[in-house]
Amino acid sequence: MNSAQQLVKCLEHEGVEYIFGIPGEENIGIMDALLSSKIEFITTRHEQGAAFMADVYGRLTGRAGVCMSTLGPGATNLVTGVADANMDRAPIVAIAGQGATTRLHKESHQILDLVNLFDPITKYSVQILEPEIVPEVVRKAFKNAQAEKPGAAFIDFPENVADMEHEYIEPLKVQSPQHPVAPLGSAKRVLKALSEAKNPVIIAGNGVIRFDACDELLAFAEAANAPVATSFMAKGAIPSSHPLSIGTVGMKAHDLVAFGIEESDLVICIGLDMVEYTPSFWNPNADIRIISIDASPAEVDTHFIPDIGMVGDIKDSLSRLAKRANAHTDNTITDLHHSIKAELCAHADDTGFPVKPQKIICDLRAVMDPEDIVISDVGAHKMWMARMFQAERPNTCIISNGFASMGIALPGAIAAKLVHPDRNILAVAGDSGFMMNNQEIETALRLKLNITIIIFNDNKYGLIEWHQMREYGRSSHIDVTNPDFVKFAESFGAKGYYVKRAEDLQDVLKTAMNDGTVSIIDCPVDYSENMKLTARLKTLESPLEGKSK
């Protein structure tokens, strides 16, 4: 067989179900080999969309999603999605065709040094130069991508190497190292610090979900009677409805959850990545006592110096702690739950138009089952989703908050539907983010997928306006003009809806979710609420005043 066929055999051996990408001249050997493979190639309309699909596939499954492009501009189009996966800890393997090795040493058509281009945004970047190393390269790429903390790997595959014939080589055995358990001594120190604290608080990060440790997190929190805040990317690690849930951290502004951290005398960070929430926002004076429970040592940061580091398998660590922790019967921070719940439901019956973002999110939650999945794009709506959407299960609210790239929602929804065909999948996007990868509507229709996209439409780069108004009191160069999104949807063969009244939104959502095809909802949004929230958070008073230490 040739090297391209060998590569495909190795991908099959890794359990690859889908490759997302676009065929090109320099990867036609792989494309031909896939005709004889059980791997399904998903032809996308842009390589960035392909990378985002692989990204979300990796987040939801824990197995590396695979995307592919040709050389040059095809490969550079992968960069944003690959960087997003790498910084958001999603396992992904990107493969790019390359020109023949006989022209890599000189100026030549579409030739770029792709290995060095991808090196800063991956955990492993390599070029295949000999057929014999294909099994090792593929195994190493997947091992690196999937190892904690997961991320991206990149394979550069020159076209002449892909065509080289050789004897078939068995793919290497698929192995993943067992995570070491934390030393017994560190568990004892954590328990001692916990027993000495009066008002401990837990901040759970995405690592809890990656380790499938949500049940253990809940057991530990209940055993210690310690309230839990989650990062954007850990929403659902504890059900939002649980009495110990005190909301989401991640906003720079001083939100209700911040009072819980301030009133705490011990913050236990579990699987929290620094890319999710800069410690200086919640520990500005670097004086909070911190415990870090994670699979790797804590990042060095002036505002994040743990007193105790419990390094090892997160699931095992939490299980051991839950069995021996004693409840804090007088932990007053648990009272935050009721204040936050009231805040989240305050606009459920609002009839204002354009529709307030709080109302849109309340209605989204009302029509979705607990296991349904929402993929949030990046923009002003992301901040509202992170703050208000009440996730009851892990990996049911996917938010990119490491690299935080616009354009992920629609491609991400396609991947989510392929992973979970039995669930409702909703993509939430701003008008500007939606326009960045709207071409993937055709991909979703071709795959006959039932997904719903709701557009928070303000004809602006709304998040940037929010920042500008907060910093300078005026906006600059943020206005855009959008197409008629209903006609735009229909031009693809999708369903299109326009929300005319706030009272209609729930019915429109229910109809769209049951269309059996791609449905796009254009919902005008009242982003005057952005600055109203900023003003209100500045005057927010702690509901815990006089109750704690």
Per residue in 380-418, pLDDT tens?
999 999 999 999 999 999 999 999 999 999 999 999 999
pLDDT at 135 over 60: yes
pTM as predicted: 0.96
Nearest to 2 by CA among 42, 24, 31, 41: 31
| Amino acid, res. 199 | N
Sign of the four-CA dihedral 278, 279, 283, 284: negative
Please tell me the distance from the alpha carbon of residue 428 to that of residue 147, in angstroms, as a whole number: 30
- What mean pLDDT, rounded, does the chain reach? 95
The CA-based dihedral angle spanning residues 129, 133, 136, 137, taken in that order and rounded to the nearest 10 degrees? 20
- Average pLDDT estimate for 71-94: 97
Sheet holding 397-399, edge to edge: 397-399, 373-376, 425-430, 452-457, 519-524, 495-498
| Per-residue pLDDT tens over the stretch 120-132 | 999 999 999 999 9
Per the model's pLDDT, the better-predicted residue between 333 and 167 turns out to be 167
- For residues 19 and 41, the answer to whether their CB atoms sit within 8 Å is yes
Q: Check whether 251 has a pLDDT greater than 50.
A: yes
d(CA 170, CA 182): 36
pLDDT at 18 over 60: yes
- pLDDT over 50 (residue 549): no
Going by pLDDT thresholds of 50, 70 and 90, the confidence category of residue 74 is: very high
Q: C-alpha angle 235/240/244, rounded to 5°?
A: 110
Q: What is the pLDDT of residue 545?
A: 67
Q: Which domains occur in the chain, in start order?
A: 3-163 (3.40.50.970), 184-338 (3.40.50.1220), 346-535 (3.40.50.970)
End-to-end CA distance of the chain: 71
pLDDT at 106 over 60: yes
Query: Residue for token digits 């007088």?
Result: 330
CA-CA-CA-CA dihedral for 316, 322, 324, 326, to nearest 10: 160
Q: What tokens appear for 190 in the block?
A: 């954590």
Looking at 133-213, list the stretches that DSSP marks H as alpha helix, in order from N- to C-terminal side.
Answer: 134-146, 159-163, 184-196, 206-210
The strand pairing partners of 521, in sequence order, are 454, 497
Average pLDDT score over residue span 62-72:
97
Is the pLDDT confidence value at 548 over 80?
no
Give 425-475 pLDDT, tens digit per residue: 999 999 999 999 999 999 999 999 999 999 999 999 999 999 999 999 999
Give the residues across from 154 on adjacent strands.
94, 125
Which backbone phi and psi does 112 adopt, to 5 degrees?
Answer: -130, 155
